[in-house]
DNA sequence: AATATTAGTTTACAAGTGTAAACTAATATT
DNA sequence: AATATTAGTTTACACTTGTAAACTAATATT
């Protein structure tokens, strides 16, 4: 699975994100229209990306009247894995260092911090981890 | 600058990280020895990576008895920028969503959370941001 | 001095990526 | 029915990346 995830390229990810945004398998038409809203890729490009995603095992196709494409990797799986890879690469594995950097770089707004503090609070009272 | 950073590849990053780990410009000898501790790259590979980093403007060379290599991008610049790119790509720009995911995925240990809570606490009392 | 090691330069080369054109076959629109 | 649009397949092509070999020149070691 992680094997599959690590092969998804940035352009391919954009296509996956469209698939993740809907609940059901999608035909080209929908994918194309959805992507046209934010990018100017030729439909040819989208077709290539879908084909590559299928080859990599990240998407399956189902023949109905037309092909329907369905993600085989969930967004959470992708996000969790690629976050870990990113943290290992840039922050030598320390999630805490990353969060501290976000905080001191003002990437977290006051409201965000309130929310996170509440989360952290519940956790530190109710659960033991590590 | 960001332009330069976005061109640094993963392998090249490993070389940058060696340069960042020292204070002064470094000759090949040191770089090679330092990298040998953790990877089995041929010294040829390291030379190629250094050359590419110079071409990209991420490293400068200074001729003394032998060439000395010096990073032109700081680790903080790199980390900040690449973190932003990552968050934009995966978390649609929301640093808070990323932190929440780290938290609920147990990537933060109890001690980390304590530390971060303390950080957040000071901030939310002392400073207004956004 | 002869040999081994290393720095630096040039060349290589396959795999992956971004981006698409060119076809064919089906479907929709006038 | 003729034409336009679209889905799907095949082919393309330059650029980047990981990884190094081959060569030259300098330096160090025996």
Q: pLDDT truncated to tens, each residue of chain A (130 aa)?
A: 889 999 999 999 999 999 999 989 999 999 999 999 999 999 999 999 999 999 999 999 999 999 999 999 999 999 999 999 999 999 999 999 999 999 999 999 999 999 999 998 875 454 444 4
Distance, CA of A11 to CA of A6 (rounded, Å)? 13
CB contact under 8 A, B95 and A108: yes
pLDDT of residue B121: 82
pLDDT averaged over chain B?
93
Distance, CA of B83 to CA of B81 (rounded, Å)? 5
Is the CB of A126 inside 8 Å of chain B's CB atoms?
no
Residue range B36-44: mean pLDDT, rounded: 94
Sheet holding A67-71, edge to edge: A26-27, A67-71, A59-63
Residues of B in contact with A120 (CB under 8 A): 103, 113, 116-117, 120
Residues of A in contact with B98 (CB under 8 A): 83, 102
CB contact under 8 A, B79 and A99: no
Residue B6 CA and nucleotide D15 C1' are separated, in Å, by: 15
pLDDT reading at B111 higher than 80: yes
Backbone angles phi, psi at A119, to 5 degrees: -55, -55
Distance, CA of A126 to CA of A128 (rounded, Å)? 7
Residue A66 CA and nucleotide C23 C1' are separated, in Å, by: 19
* CA B122 to centroid of chain Cα atoms: 27
Q: Which of B84, B86, B117 sits opposite A120 (nearest CB)?
A: B117
For residue A68, which of A54, A57, A78 has the smallest C-alpha distance?
A54
Contact present, A13 and A24 (Cβ < 8 Å): no
For residue A77, which of A65, A85, A69 has the smallest C-alpha distance?
A85
Residue range B85-100: mean pLDDT, rounded: 98
Test the B interface: residue of A107, A115, A124 with most B CBs within 10 Å: A107
Contact present, A92 and A53 (Cβ < 8 Å): no
Other beta carbons within 10 angstroms of residue A97's beta carbon come to 15
């Amino acid at each position: 699975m992680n094997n599959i995830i690590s092969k998804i390229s940035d352009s391919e990810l954009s296509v996956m994100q469209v698939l993740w945004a809907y609940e059901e398998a999608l035909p080209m038409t929908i994918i194309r229209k959805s992507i046209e809203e934010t990018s100017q890729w030729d439909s040819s490009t989208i077709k290539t990306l879908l084909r590559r995603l299928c080859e990599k095992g990240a998407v399956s196709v189902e023949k109905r009247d037309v092909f329907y494409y369905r993600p085989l990797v969930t967004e959470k799986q992708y996000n969790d894995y690629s976050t870990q890879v990113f943290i290992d690469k840039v922050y030598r594995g320390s999630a805490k260092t990353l969060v501290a950097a976000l905080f001191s770089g003002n990437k977290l707004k006051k409201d965000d911090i309130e929310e996170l503090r509440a989360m952290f609070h519940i956790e530190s009272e109710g659960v033991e981890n590590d």
